[in-house]
Amino acid sequence: MRRVLIIGSGGAGKSALARRMAERLSLLLIHLDRMYWHHGWKQTPKEEWRRTVESVVAGEASS
């Protein structure tokens, strides 16, 4: 499985770049922010987040 990690400052255009790359390269797009932040800007608890990231890395999660 091919993967690309895009990191950068807020407002730098990461999401726009990721969408274009995913479409052009036929890659699954996973937005970690959407998985981490809950309603009211509540963070995912640390242990739950660790399990979520492990699942994503293992290829078990989708966007």
The token pair that represents 38 in the structure block:
């809950």
Element (H, E) at 50: helix 46-57
Global confidence as pTM: 0.69
pLDDT-based confidence at residue 1 (cuts at 50, 70, 90) = low
> Could you give the CA distance from residue 12 to residue 7 in angstroms, rounded to a whole number?
9
User: Three-state SS for 4?
Assistant: coil
Closest to 16 in 3D by CA, of 27, 29, 28: 29
Quick one: how far is CA 22 from the chain centroid? 12
pLDDT one-digit tens code per residue, 4-49: 899 999 899 999 999 999 999 999 999 999 999 999 999 999 999 9
